Structure 1
Amino acid sequence: MLPQESYRQKVLRRLLEERLLSKYQKDGVKGYRLMRKGKETLLQLEWERFSFYLADGADFSMRRAGLTQRQRQHCISEILAIMERAEILMDRSKKQPIFENIPMQSGELSQDAFFHPKEVKAQADFTRKIISSKMTGVLLSQAEVWLCYNMQVAVPKWFETVENRADILIQSILRSKQLCFNGTNALLFGRGMQQAVQCLEDAKMRVTILNAPFQRFCFIPLDENGILLLKLMYDAEAYQSLLAVLAEDLQQKKEQPFIIQDGYNQNGHPTLICVDCDLKRLIQFQTQLSYLGVQGEVICFDFQKEAIEKYCGEQTKISTVNLETVRKNFLADK
């Protein structure tokens, strides 16, 4: 995911001219394919990094002719691109063998990393159990486990049994490697914040989010704002520092512990810090406010305001934090 459109087009033209890529169209959908010359070039440049995906018949591109398979690969590619832009480790040769039948020397995660779904499903018995999962990878950090999903252009069709099974099996593999985490979370990627609104306004998707086993169900737009948000959430120290700053002016009330909140504002209204765009917590918060008939406040980033405001309505005050200011103060030296 190159930052400038003009530069992206220039690089694409060169790849086509050198016959490393080719244009492909089927079922009315246009796209690009990696040519044999392109695969050989990647293997020559970095064998250890790309051989798992391309060498000795490992490349599964021959099964990509169907529209569903092509869309699936495009979703994965978008996630890989945003992880690359967020400077998250993806090189398989530099990561611990979390999802391989290889013993680990210690029960600690030495490096935070993103794992391609092909890596996650490398074990044959594991693959058969979650072959229908929409998961587009797993992000592991020192503090949390994130199962990643890409909603494409519409509200995703969620197969609860399959995704719950994927969650359970991934936790099982992590435990077998003596890695201990307090549950798992979900990252839902979309084209923009308008897709977050689609999820929040869709009754079936709201139930899906609430019933999902994930502790957090956060929405990340596939754009520059999403890249910065992903960097911030991935940096546990910076993220916790930001939450501490945002909670400084909030007060606690022991007499109302049943409302999901991060404190109460100066007017005594329950307040939710939602800079991570945790859809699950936001739905729970707004449902409780509506049920009790009380006002509340949501603190979010400026680019999230319109979407959250549309879902919450006029009864909930929306306060914003400037993402660029946060980047300068919390991520500038990263």
Structure 2
Amino acid sequence: MLRPNTQKYQLLELIGISGEFPADQLNRLFSSPSYAEKVITELKADKLIRTHYKDRLRGYRLTKRAREMLLHQNPLRFQYYLTGSTETNHIRSEVSRRLRLHQKAQVYLTLSHVRIPFYYDEKPQIFSTEREMIDLQALPCFYSSREVKELGEVTIKIKSSRSLGILLAPQCVYAVYNTGSNILKWEHKTEIKLNAFLQHSLQGFPYCGQPEIRAMMFGDNMETALRLLSSTGGYRRSLFMVDDSFEHFHFIPSNTHGEILLELLLHPKMTARLDQLLLSDQKSLRVNIPMEHDAIASDGTPTLLAYDFDMQRLRRFNKGLDVYGMSGNLICFDFQIPVLEKYMSSNVRFSSIDLAKFRKEFLHEL
């Protein structure tokens, strides 16, 4: 029987709560391709996992023996995922359904690297019929869309939402999406309803008053972010485009860069200190500049802090520069610049934050 504190066991857990783990994400879990291959070979030899390859989509699923082992070792955690007619226990073969399982696994993997609780037994069940109390000090926590829908009939209007779940942060609530490498299908009215539902259902619980609702979109890489920013919704407006579903919509790549960005978004004191440092040589924003900006440079041009990759603010800033014929300054991480150079107007100057230096000087505090 595997010990719970091993990487082998962690992979089994991730497969268990996802239904199917994408083969192309093994590099984010193991230190080298050779070690990943060794682990997979041993788990197959022990008859704990099997490969499922169909429609050019490769993933790993648990065997009956593995499901029984997980249920025996931690029934409180895995009964929710590995019993009954749940999508993680009875997996459909359609590509769209399997892709959604892969996208869930991708998000869970990122959350695990940032040490955010997401297993069923790790957090208070605030969406059950008997809501458990939760303290702001216990945040952040992630709740899957299935957990949210445990509230019953009140969730019928958001049944078709593309959200994978919600991330409760100390300062706000994030609706979480994953577009993978393609542009996510999108129904504007449904996501508006999700926003309203979260504002209502989480009012005063655990937040004081009505919480701020934001959204974050995970994607395979930064090139995906460019496709999202440039999207007009497709021929029938059935694909994602930056609309008014959420006032703030952050993009996070599913890699080590994205993990650092996620850490930053979840720690408002850290972002406040970083903002103060980045704008220390600039003037306060001016009311006579009728567009999105955070400060004014010494030459009078508006500056936007874009390191949090808020697609809404980026779009508004870019549009404002075009409408008013102005030049601007953009401050972002170095890995974000190549994409933003392609998206932003030609009259934008870039200042970069060295990611390695930021990690050394800021993240050591966590």
State the TM bucket, normalised to the shorter chain. Answer: over 0.9
Q: Tell me the SS of whatever aligns to 1:129.
A: helix
The match for 1:246 is 278
Q: Which moved more, 1:26-35 or 1:230-239?
A: 26-35
Question: Offset of 1:126 from its aligned partner?
Answer: 4.2
CA distance in 2 between partners of 1:10 and 1:265 (Å): 54
Correspondences of 1:290-305 after superposition (within 5 Å): 290-305=322-337
Cα displacement string for residues 278-302 of structure 1 (whole angstroms, at most 9, x for unaligned residues): 1100000010000111100100000
Q: Which runs of 5+ in 2 are unaligned?
A: 1-27
Q: Which moved more, 1:199-208 or 1:211-220?
A: 199-208
The match for 2:222 is 193
Cα displacement string for residues 153-207 of structure 1 (whole angstroms, at most 9, x for unaligned residues): 2222211111112222222221273634443111111111101111122233899
The match for 2:14 is none
Partner of residue 265 from structure 1, selected from 290, 297, 306: 297
The match for 2:268 is 236
Partner of residue 49 from structure 1, selected from 54, 74, 77: 77
CA distance in 1 between partners of 2:314 and 2:87 (Å): 41
Distance 1:53 1:176, change over 3 A: farther
The match for 1:159 is 187
Q: Which moved more, 1:245-254 or 1:68-77?
A: 245-254
Give RMSD over aligned pairs: 2.3
Q: Tell me the SS of whatever aligns to 2:69.
A: helix
Q: Which moved more, 1:9-18 or 1:291-300?
A: 9-18
Residue type of the partner of 1:202? S
Correspondences of 1:164-243 after superposition (within 5 Å): 164-175=192-203, 177=205, 179=207, 180-204=209-233, 210-243=242-275
Count matched residues: 334
The match for 1:92 is 120
> Is 1:324 matched with 2:356?
yes
CA distance in 1 between partners of 2:241 and 2:95 (Å): 27
CA distance in 2 between partners of 1:34 and 1:148 (Å): 26
Question: Offset of 1:151 from its aligned partner?
Answer: 0.7
The match for 1:4 is 31
CA distance in 2 between partners of 1:203 and 1:105 (Å): 42
Question: Offset of 1:254 from its aligned partner?
Answer: 3.2
CA distance in 2 between partners of 1:92 and 1:235 (Å): 23
Q: Which moved more, 1:161-170 or 1:205-214?
A: 205-214
Partner of residue 311 from structure 2, selected from 266, 270, 279: 279
Question: Offset of 1:275 from its aligned partner?
Answer: 0.6
Residue type of the partner of 2:226? V
Percent sequence identity over matched residues?
28
CA contact 1:107–1:177 (8 Å) conserved in 2: no
Distance 1:315 1:119, change over 3 A: same
Partner of residue 55 from structure 2, selected from 17, 22, 27: 27
TM-score (norm 1): 0.92
Cα displacement string for residues 225-257 of structure 1 (whole angstroms, at most 9, x for unaligned residues): 011111121122212211111121121253524
CA contact 2:248–2:313 (8 Å) conserved in 1: yes
Q: Which moved more, 1:46-55 or 1:24-33?
A: 24-33
Distance 1:178 1:88, change over 3 A: closer
TM-score (norm 2): 0.85
Q: Tell me the SS of whatever aligns to 2:202.
A: helix
Residue type of the partner of 1:41? M
CA contact 1:185–1:214 (8 Å) conserved in 2: yes
Residue type of the partner of 1:200? L
CA distance in 2 between partners of 1:282 and 1:149 (Å): 19
Residue type of the partner of 2:223? Q
Q: Which runs of 5+ in 1 are unaligned?
A: none
